[in-house]
Amino acid sequence: MKICMIGTGYVGLVTGTCFAETGNDVICVDNDAEKIKLLNEGHVPIYEPGLDEMIKHNVSEGRLSFTTDLARGVKESLFVFIAVGTPSSDDGSADLSSVWSVGREIGKHMNGYKIVVTKSTVPVGTTERVKAIIAQETKDQFDVASNPEFLKEGAAIDDFMKPDRVVVGTSDPRVTELMKELYEPFVRTGKPILIMDIRSSELTKYAANAMLATRISFMNEMANLCEKLGADVNLVRRGMGSDPRIGSSFLFPGVGYGGSCFPKDVKAIIKFGLEAGYAMKILPMVEEVNCLQKRMLAEKVIDYFKGNVKGKKIALWGLSFKPKTDDMRDAPAIEIINLLLSAGAVIEAFDPVAAKETKKIFGERIGYGTKNYDVLKDAEALLVITEWNEFREPDFEKIKSLMKNPVIFDGRNIYDGKKLNEKGFTYFSIGKKP
């Protein structure tokens, strides 16, 4: 099938490439000329495991191309996917300006029947409004559908190629058949393609992200309570998660949720809930708990040094909001670094892939190591912010010999505190008294 993917970011690039992988002809469109130039020169502008090779393969097979020419993409395609960003506005609502402008452009360049699909995460009613915008521009027949994306950065290819479910919002039988045909290769193991009305489909995405964010904030609260009461959140987590009604995933306390989705989607659902006349009670608290949690580790460090971190070198391991991505959007590391910098600390950080993105935020205000041990020399504390696999079993003797002061603040609970104490470290984690 002929597909145009408008917006070639984390979602559009992965989705477009995976559709090409199953034999479709895909044109990826973006208005960022630099990004398209990079892609056309064979470079991949984001870090996502496995994506490089898959792009190369499909480009060389002639099934995948990149352009800034939206008109060509639309004209040559049956499916037109909208995968542009929907970031937070200042008031917390989703900024839909890119969606509206793409809708207008699609309308202007219609040349026959198309199915226009919102893949971006969009508030309830957006897809209907896109339909109205396109209809103002064209007399051609078209349908719209909602098809929210559930991929996780860092595992995006796998998630897209083997989804747990595909959600499609449409009430049109022809669209249903064509969308099922498009997704059939991805659900051969029997995972469902859930067809529902457009509004329910749009809300499903927000409800899923809000639920996951809620689990994280809930566990962070449990962790904070554990610290007060002398319990160990890791044991509590296991005890809770063994109950199949609860399940063990997404019960890990840490430094708060970040990334391009949870923070903005929680804000947006609160906002469009209010606009619809329903003031949600749980989600504003989920957000508040998260804001506090993002500060927690830096505050523990400042407390440990009795309020005086001025001139002290603090080493950070991990910057991205989670492992296997270079995405720094709303990463807890940003808040942690800001707090430590404003208290006068000197920061030196290492991340396997996110240093370039971090430099766009902090420039030379912090130092960047090229290896994990580089940043430890004379450090007075080490903070683990992101649980990259390579941080899990480091050489602790080497760490100790490099640091001025062997103190570890483990924001992801990846180390065994007892063993570290035996090795002479002072160790702080989340949800357990030191």
Q: Which residues contact ligand NAD (rule: CB under 6 A)? A: 6-12, 29-32, 35, 83-86, 98, 101-102, 120-121, 149, 151, 153, 260-261
In angstroms, the CA 369 to CA 355 distance is: 9
Three-class secondary structure of residue 90 per DSSP: coil
Instruction: Supply the DSSP symbol for 138.
Output: -
> Angle at the Cα of 330 (from 429 to 291), degrees rounded to 5?
55
CB nearer to ligand NAD: give 67 or 338: 67
**Residue among 31 and 89 whose Cβ is closer to ligand NAD:** 31
Residue 261 among the catalytic residues: yes
Compute the least distance from the CB of residue 102 to ligand NAD, in Å. Answer: 5
Taking the complex as a whole, how short is the minimal distance between the CB of residue 162 and ligand NAD, in angstroms?
Answer: 16
Provide, rounded to whole angstroms, the least separation between the CB of residue 9 and ligand NAD.
Answer: 2
Contact 266, 232 (CB under 8 A): no
Question: Which residue among 18, 226, 261, 291 is the active-site one?
Answer: 261
* Cα–Cα dist 426/384, whole Å: 14
Give the integer Cα–Cα distance in Å for 51 and 371. Answer: 24
Cβ 94 vs Cβ 269: under 8 Å: no
Residue 248 CB partners (closer than 8 Å, separation 6+): 237, 238, 241, 242
Structure tokens at 84: 């542009």
Minimal distance, residue 101 CB to ligand NAD, in Å: 5
Residue 265 or 410 having the CB closest to ligand NAD: 265
Closest residue by beta carbon to ligand NAD: 9
Nearest-angstrom CA–CA distance, 149 and 167: 8
Q: Which two tokens stand for residue 344?
A: 């006068």
Closest CB to ligand NAD among residues 266, 420: 266
Q: Which is nearer to ligand NAD, 11 or 407 (CB)?
A: 11
Q: State the minimum distance, in angstroms, from the CB of residue 149 to ligand NAD.
A: 4
Q: Which residues does the annotation mark as catalytic?
A: 261
